[in-house]
Amino acid sequence: MVVSKMNKDAQMRAAINQKLIETGERERLKELLRAKLIECGWKDQLKAHCKEEVIKEKGLEHVTVDDLVAEITPKGRALVPDSVKKELLQRIRTFLAQHASL
Amino acid sequence: MKMEEMSLSGLDNSKLEAIAQEIYADLVEDSCLGFCFEVHRAVKCGYFFLDDTDPDSMKDFEIVDQPGLDIFGQVFNQWKSKECVCPNCSRSIAASRFAPHLEKCLGMGRNSSRIANRRIANSNSMNKSESDQEDNDDINDNDWSYGSEKKDWELKVTLPFILLSYTAKKRKSDKNPNSPRRSKSLKHKNGELSNSDPFKYNSSTGISYETLGPEELRSLLTTLMFLFQQCGVISEHTKKMCTRSLRCPQHTDEQRRAVRIYFLGPSAVLPEVESSLDNDSFDMTDSQALISRLQWDGSSDLSPSDSGSSKTSENQGWGLGTNSSESRKTKKKKSHLSLVGTASGLGSNKKKKPKPPAPPTPSIYDDIN
């Protein structure tokens, strides 16, 4: 018999994620984040970065998804403004507090 | 199951915070990934570089950020203070007032046709009797159905206003004689009203008629007829005369008497409500005196060129009493404004008179109008 050893934390995280998805909160958070990022210009910054560095470096023809992901993700993470980050974290905490007892 | 038994409350805050951070990181990564896919697709489909233009065009359409200008660089209320010259009357009009002015100036547009039609109908009603009302209706195929409703409106709204303003001692209408606004304030007075110097308020007789122009005279007469058949008490807030019957419950007889005294002088008498439809029983001496006086005074005001026809038409007079008795019977359709009938015929006609004895020599007012 295969015993799947998920420790409590992992189980906890899984449960929370499940709850997030079930209530639709995850989608809402995602939309909110997207909107805020566009609003603050994050998307344009990233696009400029793309144009300048990635594509010109590798050439338009040979751009792959993997390349893009590898280049863009760290930059993207770094470029998120603090206010957006704070607000999102706040909402997540609220959600967790609401669903303290499953 | 095990999962259900677990509760978050067992976890401490740091763990919760860690979980929150994780969730946040997940979300951000999702967004980045989404962005990557978009870019990749744009590159492969060929529209990635589409929004780039050459530097020259970029400068042309740059966003303007100066005070007083919008982002396109245009001045905000540039057109407010501009003045246009009207092609019709060659007058300089403010831009915001240009459209309504043009409407009136050219005589097109709903309001100007309404005014014109009203004027026509007024002059028509002076000449013709009720049977010609259909003509009026044909001419005036506007929103209103002309006829009694229009005349009621006139009586209710325009006449009291006129009379009230006339009986005031001072006139405040003389602002800028050339400004187009003047015509607006005088619009309700049934057409062009020259700025004639109206009344001297004569306390003994009420109003002195000598200085009345024909328009004013006509409106005065209509009010008089009004007062013979209807309540007439002027409402304080709307300044209109009450159009209900002489037995209207809203106003007392005292009020009605007061209104009549105000307009007709101290000797005015309230028409007897109880009287049968034969209105002649009420005090005609007063009104007759008034009528004959008006007759002479009105005609003396007229242009001498009319003297030929006007002399004969004088005798046809203004059968106030007659028409009021008719109207009494057939309430609705009678025109209050039809002033034709012979003076001598007062009281003799109880039936509806289809046409007046002589075709009202297109009465004196036509020429003036």
CB pair distance less than 8 Å for A77 and B28: yes
Residue B239: pLDDT band with limits 50, 70, 90? confident
User: Which of B37, B40, B51 would best serve as a mutation to test chain A binding (most A beta carbons within 10 A)?
Assistant: B40
SS3 of residue B171 by DSSP: coil
Determine the structural domain holding residue A67 and report its residue range: 24-99
B20 near A93, Cβ under 8 Å? yes
A17 CB neighbours in chain B (<8 A) are 23
Nearest-angstrom CA–CA distance, B161 and B185? 11
pLDDT given for residue B343 in this prediction: 40
CB pair distance less than 8 Å for B20 and A34: no
Residues 6+ apart with CB under 8 A from B347: B278, B279, B280, B284, B321, B322, B325
Nearest-angstrom CA–CA distance, B125 and B214? 15
Select the residue of A16, A33, A77 nearest B19 (Cβ to Cβ): A16
pLDDT in tens, B307-319: 444 444 444 444 4
CB pair distance less than 8 Å for B40 and A68: yes
Mean pLDDT of chain B: 64
- Residue by residue, DSSP assigns B202-231 as ETTTEE--TT--HHHHHHHHHHHHHHHHB-
Nearest Cα of chain B lies from the Cα of A2 at a distance, in angstroms, of 17
Copy the structure tokens of residue B154: 């006139």
pLDDT given for residue B154 in this prediction: 62
Of A42-46, B166-170, B251-255, minimum mean pLDDT range: B166-170
CB pair distance less than 8 Å for A77 and B32: yes
Does the residue A17 lie in any domain? Answer: no
Does the residue A19 lie in any domain? Answer: no
CB pair distance less than 8 Å for B35 and A72: yes
Does the residue A12 lie in any domain? Answer: no
Nearest-angstrom CA–CA distance, A32 and B51? 26
pLDDT given for residue B65 in this prediction: 81
Residue B87: pLDDT band with limits 50, 70, 90? confident
Select the residue of A29, A51, A96 nearest B16 (Cβ to Cβ): A96
CB pair distance less than 8 Å for B7 and A101: yes
CB pair distance less than 8 Å for B27 and A88: yes
Which residues, in sequence order, are bridge partners of residue B241? B234
Does B8 lie at the interface with A, CB-CB under 8 angstroms? Answer: yes
| Beta carbons within 10 angstroms of residue B202's beta carbon | 11
Q: Mean pLDDT across the stretch B147-165?
A: 60
Could you tell me how far CA B47 lies from the centroid of its own chain?
A: 61
Does the residue A50 lie in any domain? Answer: yes
Does the residue A1 lie in any domain? Answer: no
Q: In which residue are the tokens 């992992």 written?
A: A10
pLDDT given for residue B307 in this prediction: 44
pLDDT given for residue B71 in this prediction: 82
Select the residue of B15, B20, B34 nearest A93 (Cβ to Cβ): B20
pLDDT in tens, B19-69: 899 999 999 999 999 999 999 999 889 888 887 777 777 777 788 788 878
Quote the DSSP letter at residue B262. Answer: H
Does B6 lie at the interface with A, CB-CB under 8 angstroms? Answer: yes
- Whether this prediction's pTM lies above 0.90 is answered by no
Work out the widest C-alpha separation in chain A, in whole angstroms: 55
A63 near B40, Cβ under 8 Å? yes
CB pair distance less than 8 Å for A89 and B43: no
Residues of A with CB under 8 A from a CB of B: 8-9, 11-17, 20, 26, 29-30, 33-34, 37, 43, 46-47, 50-51, 55, 60, 63-65, 68-69, 72-73, 76-77, 80, 85, 88-89, 92-93, 96, 99-102
Nearest-angstrom CA–CA distance, B67 and B108? 41
| Pairing verdict, β B92-94 and B206-207 | unpaired
Does B3 lie at the interface with A, CB-CB under 8 angstroms? Answer: yes
Copy the structure tokens of residue B11: 């976890």
Report which secondary-structure segment, H or E, holds B85. strand B83-85
User: Which of B37, B43, B44 would best serve as a mutation to test chain A binding (most A beta carbons within 10 A)?
Assistant: B43
Residue B106: pLDDT band with limits 50, 70, 90? confident
pLDDT in tens, B218-236: 666 666 666 677 788 887 7
B275 near B317, Cβ under 8 Å? no
Name the residue among B45, B43, B42, B31 with its Cα closest to residue A58: B43
pLDDT given for residue B277 in this prediction: 45
Nearest-angstrom CA–CA distance, B175 and B182? 8
Does B45 lie at the interface with A, CB-CB under 8 angstroms? Answer: no
Q: Mean pLDDT across the stretch B133-157?
A: 54
SS3 of residue A9 by DSSP: helix
Select the residue of B27, B32, B49 nearest A29 (Cβ to Cβ): B27
| Beta carbons within 10 angstroms of residue B365's beta carbon | 22
Nearest-angstrom CA–CA distance, B180 and B45? 64
pLDDT in tens, A3-57: 455 688 888 889 899 999 999 999 999 999 999 999 999 999 999 888 887 667 7
Nearest-angstrom CA–CA distance, B171 and B168? 7
pLDDT value at A95 more than 80: yes
Which residues, in sequence order, are bridge partners of residue B75? B69
What is the ipTM for the molecules in this complex?
A: 0.90
Does B358 lie at the interface with A, CB-CB under 8 angstroms? Answer: no
Nearest-angstrom CA–CA distance, B248 and B231? 6
pLDDT value at B330 more than 70: no
Q: How many independent structural domains does chain A possess?
A: 1
Sign of the CA dihedral with B327 first, then B330, B331, and B337 last: negative
Residue B86: pLDDT band with limits 50, 70, 90? confident
Nearest-angstrom CA–CA distance, B233 and B230? 9
Does the residue A2 lie in any domain? Answer: no
Q: Mean pLDDT across the stretch B227-248?
A: 80
Nearest-angstrom CA–CA distance, B123 and B135? 13
pLDDT given for residue B356 in this prediction: 46
Does the residue A39 lie in any domain? Answer: yes
B133 near B139, Cβ under 8 Å? no
Nearest Cα of chain B lies from the Cα of A33 at a distance, in angstroms, of 8
pLDDT value at B92 more than 70: yes
Residue A1 burial (10 A CB sphere; 0-12, 13-18, 19+): exposed
pLDDT given for residue B33 in this prediction: 94
Does the residue A73 lie in any domain? Answer: yes
Q: What is the CATH number of the domain that holds A70?
A: 1.10.246.140
